[in-house]
């Protein structure tokens, strides 16, 4: 290949107009140990293309997964904003209820009256009330069991998000080959100025 043809093919290559056959010819030409003077950087570029492996294509649903992850992130931000305003309001409401309860407790406080004269009957009534309270508390804690499952779901969700993050990171590392190729490709354009 003479120098005129070489310059023509290189110009087409740098303009992005070269065909695969012309790029193959350039790669084959720069495989030779002897090249004309002034084409050392092109030899490095085409040597890189020859030595690098083919960059894998992203999976078919790659874009959909990224968009889905972005949507999930946006909904989490909205939930965070909601929590940012609701917790102070709930705290204020709890404070007001506490003040109102204290007021009624202090204002309408009555002295306990001893209604039982026999201590055995008083003990039996006390035990009856305590058993009733205990059964009500146990019933309430059983109703709260589904709330414990929320933590399990949170852990599973974080694991799924972490897996997605690892897959995205892995795919982005594969794309780093393209970035390196761009760096090498655009260096000769700076040197030729």
What confidence tens digit (pLDDT) does each residue in 6-40 have?
888 888 888 888 888 888 888 888 777 677 777 78
- Name the burial class of residue 184, with classes exposed (0-12), middle (13-18) and buried (19+) by CB atoms within 10 angstroms of its CB: middle
| Local structure of residue 55 (DSSP, 8 states) | P
Residue 142 domain-assigned (yes or no): no
pLDDT in tens, 155-169: 888 888 888 888 888
Residue 35 domain-assigned (yes or no): yes
Q: What is the pLDDT, as a whole number, of residue 112?
A: 67
Residue 165 domain-assigned (yes or no): no
Q: What is the pLDDT, as a whole number, of residue 56?
A: 66
Mean pLDDT check: name the lowest of 72-76, 147-151, 184-188. 184-188
Residue 63 domain-assigned (yes or no): no
| Local structure of residue 192 (DSSP, 8 states) | T
Q: Over the Cα atoms of the chain, what is R_g?
A: 38
Average pLDDT over residues 99-118: 79
What is the extent of the structural domain holding 35? 3-51
Cβ partners under 8 Å of residue 42, min gap 6: 10, 26, 30, 35, 188
Residue 67 has pLDDT above 90, yes or no: no
Residue 30 domain-assigned (yes or no): yes
Residue 170 domain-assigned (yes or no): no
Q: What is the pLDDT, as a whole number, of residue 139?
A: 81
In the chain, how many domains are there?
A: 1
Residue 29 domain-assigned (yes or no): yes
**pTM score of the predicted model:** 0.28
Residue 12 domain-assigned (yes or no): yes
Residue 193 has pLDDT above 50, yes or no: no
């Amino acid at each position: 290949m003479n120098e005129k043809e070489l310059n023509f093919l290189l110009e087409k290559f740098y303009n992005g107009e070269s065909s695969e056959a012309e790029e193959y010819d350039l790669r084959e030409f720069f495989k030779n140990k002897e090249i004309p003077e002034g084409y050392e950087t092109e030899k490095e570029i085409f040597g890189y293309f020859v030595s690098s492996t083919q960059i894998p294509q992203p999976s078919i649903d790659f874009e959909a997964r990224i968009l889905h992850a972005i949507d999930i992130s946006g909904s989490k931000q909205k939930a965070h904003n909601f929590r940012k305003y609701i917790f102070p309001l709930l705290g204020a409401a709890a404070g007001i209820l506490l003040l109102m309860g204290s007021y009624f407790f202090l204002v309408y406080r009555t002295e306990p009256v001893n209604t039982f004269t026999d201590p055995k009957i008083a003990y039996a009534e006390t035990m009856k009330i305590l058993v009733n309270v205990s059964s009500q508390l146990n019933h309430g804690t059983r109703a709260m069991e589904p709330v414990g499952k929320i933590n399990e779901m949170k852990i599973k969700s974080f694991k799924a998000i972490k897996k997605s993050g690892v897959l995205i990171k892995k795919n982005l590392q594969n794309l780093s080959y393209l970035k390196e190729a761009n760096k090498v490709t655009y260096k000769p354009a700076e040197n030729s100025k």
